[in-house]
Amino acid sequence: MRASQLLLATALSLASVVAVSGCGPVKMPAEMPGPLGCGRRDPNTSGPSTMSVAQNTVLKNNGHPGAVEPNEQGGLTWMYVRSAGSVFGESETAEMFIFNAEGLLVGTKTEIRKQLGKG
């Protein structure tokens, strides 16, 4: 009788653990908010430990932004201006990464500022 009670208690505790944890969607590291206030930190003056995974990924892939501006989401917009040219012409594009107050990437925007020649 004692063994069956122990088995029943173990089964009930495992069932409650599964019910509490559930099977919700798992977030990727870039979808997790960063440290408190990281969305308002200037990447040119802040260290990587004070920023979110999404911000560090953008820094790793693109380097430090040329301009940083506040946005409507409570965070900062990082702007990169790129120039390219060849014998066929030249172009200049601005790429913007929009972060909210938690340091999550909520959008990107690319605009062509100048295009000369064949394109």
In a domain, 4, yes or no: no
Say if residue 112 is exposed, middle or buried (CB neighbours under 10 Å; 0-12, 13-18, 19+). Answer: exposed
- Helices (H) and strands (E) counted in the chain, each on its own, are 2, 4
Q: Quote the CA–CA distance of 72 and 55 in Å, as a whole number.
A: 18
In a domain, 68, yes or no: yes
How many separate domains does the chain show?
1
Q: What is the CA radius of gyration of the chain?
A: 24
Q: Which domain holds residue 37?
A: 26-117
pLDDT in tens, 59-108: 999 999 999 999 998 999 999 999 888 888 899 999 999 999 999 999 99
pLDDT in tens, 12-43: 555 554 444 556 677 777 777 888 788 888 99
pTM: predicted TM-score of the whole model, two decimal places: 0.70
In a domain, 16, yes or no: no
pLDDT of residue 114: 86
